[in-house]
Amino acid sequence: MTAVLERVPTGDGITLAVDFYRCDAPRAIVLLLHGGGQSRHAWDLTARRLRTRGYTAAAYDARGHGDSDWDPTGLYDLDRLGSDLLAVRSHLTSRSTGTPVVAIGASLGGMTVIGAHLLAPADLWDAVVLVDVTPRMEMHGARRVVAFMAAHPEGFDDLESAAEVIAAYTPHRPRPRNVQGLRRVLRQRRDGRWVWRWDPAFVSSNFQFLQGDPQDGVAEFEEMSTLLVDGARRVSAPTLLVRGLLSDVVSEETVNDFVELVPHARTVDVTGAGHMIAGDDNDTFSEAVLDFLDDVV
């Protein structure tokens, strides 16, 4: 089951790489938003499962990631990312008028889904799934994610070196024997070195405050949380929050805070999974999402 790659224009001239897994008369259209530093391929397995179950899935690279354009201004705020999500949604629904639309966002993708609720009516969405992200997150976990993304700006000598760094970052996950899959998140420069497939400005423009002294950035982190809280209060569609029990970004406390903001939300924990749940245990994750969508859509 292969995806069809299309390029979708946004309102400011950026084009986004979108993988479509289409089916006839879909039960719903499901938009899949990856986390920071990832690409649309993080959703390959889940998208195929959705397609098998009768859903059309669309996984896209956020601006500055994967095969999508980099922002010429080097700015990647939630307004821009949210507007991109709405552009992809508009592109899809122009062909399937009346079909329910679902947004599934992991980490940064989930922040984007929440932020989009500040830009457009909540009734655009027939269901929302947030993957290990809440408006109020654990700052130490967020700092660890940003530190990983900011490290090794000059890249790696080879894919094996990159695999070692990734394995150290995700010690709970078995190290893959075949490193060729890393080509989806790394590209080779002309000098032969392998660098991440994201714009370094993504980290410096959005999350500079999470680098350096742990005592710094508290005010900025709280400001970001307040923005996401405002967006979460507007979420009205059936909602599922999936948390990895090994995650240091989302805790039981932040889950409880989220349920207070979105009282109709359901929650599910995935044992043995960290922040990147879909990659850690795709079987459990995908079944939880599919069971939820089958029930509410």
Calpha distance 62→257 (Å, rounded): 27
Torsion sign, CA atoms 220, 222, 223, 229: positive
Determine contact, residues 189/195, Cβ cutoff 8 Å. Answer: yes
Burial category of 270 from C-beta neighbours within 10 Å (exposed 0-12, middle 13-18, buried 19 and up): buried
* pLDDT tens-digit series, residues 33-52: 999 999 999 999 999 999 99
Which pLDDT belongs to residue 269? 97
* pLDDT tens-digit series, residues 204-246: 888 888 887 777 789 899 999 999 999 999 999 999 999 999 9
Looking at residues 116-129, what average pLDDT do you find?
Answer: 98
Which domains, ranges and CATH numbers included, belong to the chain?
4-296 (3.40.50.1820)
The C-alpha torsion from 39 through 41 and 44 to 47, rounded to 10°, is 40
* pLDDT tens-digit series, residues 146-183: 999 989 989 999 999 999 999 999 988 888 889 999 99
pLDDT at 96 over 70: no
Burial category of 59 from C-beta neighbours within 10 Å (exposed 0-12, middle 13-18, buried 19 and up): buried
Calpha distance 296→287 (Å, rounded): 14
Token reading at 24: 């006839």
pLDDT at 296 over 70: yes
